[in-house]
Amino acid sequence: MSNIVVDKSKVPWWVSNVIVPLVNLTLALLVSGLFIFIAGENPIEAVKLIIFGSFGYIQGFAYTLYYTTNFIFTGLAFAVAFHCRLFNIGGEGQAYIGGLGVFLVAINLSFLPIPIVWLLSICGAFLFGAAWAYIPAYLQSKRGSHVVITTIMFNFIASSLMIFLLVDVIRDTNQMAPHTVKLPEAIWLPSFEAFSGILGIKIRYSPLNLTFLLAIASLFFVWFLVWKTKWGYEMRAVGHNTQAAIYAGISPHKNIIIAMCISGGLAGLLGVNEILGVSHKIQAGFPAGYGFTGIAVALMGRNHPIGILPAAFLFGILYQGGSEVTFEMPNITRYMFVAVQGLIILFSGALENLFRPQIESFFVKRLNKEVNA
């Protein structure tokens, strides 16, 4: 047991918010390196491959940013709910249903002017995701059913529902596979290669598209919402101290529902990237675990947009670089990188306080010496 007690007010913000996460990340990567070594490959070579795969050529970098886009949405989704102390594990299901929203709006309203279709599809994604989060939120606020349990269950329900729809209702009847028809090409979101084409640079296909900018805008939106509006203030008040919120006339019910709906809506935006931007149709299982990884992104990013951006980027690098590694190193499977992600979650989430007191007291002592000297 550690007996170090640190006066929190004396710890500089950059120690708790930059140094500590970096130390935890480094440890996770060291342990991952050990695994790679045990698997019979050279960890240094693996790191080189990751860096080359995610930065080394323009197409790889575009892939990295594409993954980053998804992680920003799901990371923000988790963070918003967390500020109201709600553990929204349901990003996966909300993203899935959000995708349904994009598709239904886009295919039914494709006759409208294109920017309007985009705008309405984004709203569709947000509303469908929010609606899927509303049910657990309602159950939590009115019936006290814990949101962790219900959102996990709602992931399964979303998955079953979508499979049913994809098989029996909205399947492309010319195909055997469970996916829908493609959206008309005119309303696809412009891709990165289309942009570079305009600039006269020719690059090969990548899934990166305009949604990346929406993700950046969402970062700003969440920052503004949580810290600069009275809604965010009330959400945080309910999250930190429900009793006090009631005392101040702030309704916990209302805020639980608002926080969960915004959270679900942000997760739903993942559907914009996947469906309007990349595959242009709903495929079974398209959220592919982004919703869960978003939890790790938010934890690493300390639930702040400024932290979530680099954390999402880091996971983007791991995804893109990781697939490069599995390609080049036969002993390393895809699951190895799931384990690496797991280690990052372990060190930056569960073991977050393992070294925090030591690191903080180290810096507090050093800084005090400088002041006194």
Partner 1 sequence: MVSPILELTNINKSFGHVQANKNINLKINKGTIHGIIGENGAGKSTLMSIVFGLYQANSGSIKINGKEINLRSPRDSIVNGIGMVHQHFMLVENFTVLENIILGFEGETVFGEKLANAKKDLEKLCKTYNFNIDLDATIADLSVGFRQRVEILKSLYRGAEILILDEPTGVLTPQEVDELFKILRSLKDEGKTIVLITHKLIEIMDLTSEVSVMRQGEMVGHTKTKDTNKEQLAEMMVGRSVLLRVDKKEIKKGEVIFKVNNLSVKDDLDVARVKNINLEIRSGEILGIAGVTGNGQTELLEALSGIRKVESGNIQLFGEKISDQDNFLNPRMLKEKGLAHVPEDRQRMGLISDFKAHENLIFGYHDQEPFSKSAVLNSQEITEYSSKIMQEYDVRPNSPNLITSNFSGGNQQKIILSRELNENPKVLLVGQPTRGVDIGAIEFIHQRLIDMRDRGAAILLASVELDEILSLSDRIIVMFDGKIVGEKENKNVTDRELGLLMAGVA
Mark the segment that binds partner 1 (CB under 8 A) among 2-10, 185-193, 259-267, 292-300: 2-10
Of 250-269, binders to partner 1 (CB under 8 A) are: 250-251
Conformational region of residue 107, where left means phi above 0, alpha means psi within -120 to 50, and beta covers everything else: alpha
| Angle of CA points 351, 23, 20, to nearest 5° | 75
Q: How far apart are CA 340 and CA 32, in angstroms?
A: 6
By beta-carbon proximity to partner 1, the closer residue of 164 and 247 is 247
Q: How far apart are CA 166 and CA 180, in angstroms?
A: 7
Pick the binder of partner 1 from 38, 119, 167, 248 (CB under 8 A): 248
By beta-carbon proximity to partner 1, the closer residue of 145 and 361 is 361
The CA-atom distances, in angstroms, between 280 and each of 144, 187, 360 are 39, 9, 49
Instruction: For residue 368, count other CB atoms closer than 10 A to its CB.
Output: 11
Pick the binder of partner 1 from 247, 285, 342, 350 (CB under 8 A): 247
Residue count, binding to partner 1 (CB under 8 A): 28
Q: How far is the CB of 229 from partner 1 (least distance, A)?
A: 5
Mark the segment that binds partner 1 (CB under 8 A) among 23-31, 47-55, 177-185, 249-257: 249-257
Of 56-85, binders to partner 1 (CB under 8 A) are: none
What does R_g of the chain's alpha carbons equal in angstroms? Answer: 22
Residues 140, 77 contacting (CB under 8 angstroms)? no
Establish if 246 lies at the interface with partner 1 (CB under 8 A).
yes
Establish if 306 lies at the interface with partner 1 (CB under 8 A).
no
Q: How far is the CB of 82 from partner 1 (least distance, A)?
A: 13
By beta-carbon proximity to partner 1, the closer residue of 202 and 230 is 230
Residues 71, 297 contacting (CB under 8 angstroms)? yes
| Cβ-count burial 231-243 (b if 16+ within 10 Å, e if not) | ebebbbbbbeebe
By beta-carbon proximity to partner 1, the closer residue of 83 and 280 is 83
Q: How far apart are CA 363 and CA 219, in angstroms?
A: 30
Pick the binder of partner 1 from 35, 231, 292, 355 (CB under 8 A): 231
- Please, which residues have CB within 8 angstroms of residue 229's CB and are 6 or more apart in sequence? none
Q: How far is the CB of 143 from partner 1 (least distance, A)?
A: 17
| Cβ-count burial 55-75 (b if 16+ within 10 Å, e if not) | eeeebbbbbbbbbbbbbbbbb
Establish if 5 lies at the interface with partner 1 (CB under 8 A).
yes
Of 334-373, binders to partner 1 (CB under 8 A) are: 361, 364, 368
Q: How far apart are CA 259 and CA 229, in angstroms?
A: 13
Partners of 179 in the β-ladder: 283
Establish if 8 lies at the interface with partner 1 (CB under 8 A).
yes
By beta-carbon proximity to partner 1, the closer residue of 11 and 95 is 11
Q: How far apart are CA 55 and CA 145, in angstroms?
A: 45
Mark the segment that binds partner 1 (CB under 8 A) among 210-218, 235-243, 256-264, 287-295: 235-243
Q: How far is the CB of 7 from partner 1 (least distance, A)?
A: 5
Pick the binder of partner 1 from 213, 217, 244, 338 (CB under 8 A): 244
Q: How far apart are CA 93 and CA 83, in angstroms?
A: 20
By beta-carbon proximity to partner 1, the closer residue of 234 and 274 is 234
Q: How far apart are CA 362 and CA 366, in angstroms?
A: 6
Establish if 9 lies at the interface with partner 1 (CB under 8 A).
yes
Residues across the chain: 373
Establish if 163 lies at the interface with partner 1 (CB under 8 A).
no
Q: How far is the CB of 361 from partner 1 (least distance, A)?
A: 7
Of all helices (H) and strands (E), which one includes residue 191? none
Q: How far apart are CA 267 and CA 128, in angstroms?
A: 10
By beta-carbon proximity to partner 1, the closer residue of 86 and 100 is 86
Block residue for tokens 């916990």:
252
Mark the segment that binds partner 1 (CB under 8 A) among 171-179, 226-234, 291-299, 301-309: 226-234
Binding site residues, partner 1, CB under 8 A: 4-10, 228-231, 233-234, 236-237, 240-241, 243-244, 246-251, 361, 364, 368
